Amino acid sequence: MKPTIAGVVLAGGQSRRFGRPKAFAEHRGAPFFTWSIAALRPLVDELYIISHPALVDEFRRQTDIPVLLDVERYRGCGPLAGIYTAMEHSRADWMFVLPCDMPYMRQEVVERLASYIDPTFDAIVPLHGGRPEPLVALYHRRLSSMIAELLDAGERRMAALLDRVRVRCLDTKQLSADEEVWRNVNTQDEYGKR
């Protein structure tokens, strides 16, 4: 049976370095977050946006995709909390996570990454320049309790999760010859160079 996939757009950060909410910055006339949705939508069975509390109303004005806040117990605890929240709301086998600040990501890269799903692994993670891209990755729902344990212990680093699970790593060159798809925008300077 084909595994089910939930698409999860992470938009819970405070965009401190950017100076305003990155999710709503524009690329080619559309907000950043819509590019992540466009890359995920054809592949996934359901979609969620994990939002910072201050952005919920604006997301709901701009999209009909369910907008979730981190579960209260882990609110403000970073991407691990966002992934856990999606797992609590979805019954899908896998969560395909994308950040809201990668407007160059494309559908074919997402599809290629998902084609490597293998139930003997807990996570499917690209390596860019030899380093994991844990926020452009797939996580099996069985990791929910492990993520909760990490968060309960005060651990917020994605690396802490990856160190404890079976990870299938893929060089980004296997997924796309175009380096630009891996660019994220963190500062106004980077935004100006896009």
Contact between 70 and 82 (Cβ < 8 Å): yes
Q: What is the pLDDT, as a whole number, of residue 26?
A: 84
Q: What is the pLDDT of residues 52-69, one digit of tens each?
A: 898 999 999 999 999 999
Output Rg (C-alpha) for the chain, integer angstroms.
15
Q: What is the pLDDT, as a whole number, of residue 174?
A: 85
Q: What is the pLDDT of residues 70-116, one digit of tens each?
A: 999 999 899 999 999 999 999 999 999 999 988 999 999 999 999 99
Q: How many domains does the chain have?
A: 1
> Annotated binding site, which residues?
10-12, 22, 70, 101
What range defines the domain where residue 143 resides?
A: 5-192
Q: What is the pLDDT, as a whole number, of residue 181?
A: 80
Q: What is the pLDDT, as a whole number, of residue 22?
A: 76
Q: What is the CATH number of the domain that holds 12?
A: 3.90.550.10
Q: What is the pLDDT of residues 13-45, one digit of tens each?
A: 655 555 556 788 888 888 989 999 999 999 999
Q: Which two tokens stand for residue 166?
A: 């079976």
Q: What is the pLDDT of residues 153-174, one digit of tens each?
A: 999 999 999 999 999 999 988 8
> Annotated binding site for GTP, which residues?
10-12, 22, 70, 101
Contact between 114 and 67 (Cβ < 8 Å): no
The answer to whether residue 145 scores a pLDDT higher than 60 is yes
> Annotated binding site for Mg(2+), which residues?
101
Give the integer Cα–Cα distance in Å for 97 and 125. Answer: 10
Give the integer Cα–Cα distance in Å for 106 and 13. Answer: 22
Q: What is the pLDDT of residues 176-193, one digit of tens each?
A: 768 888 877 655 455 555
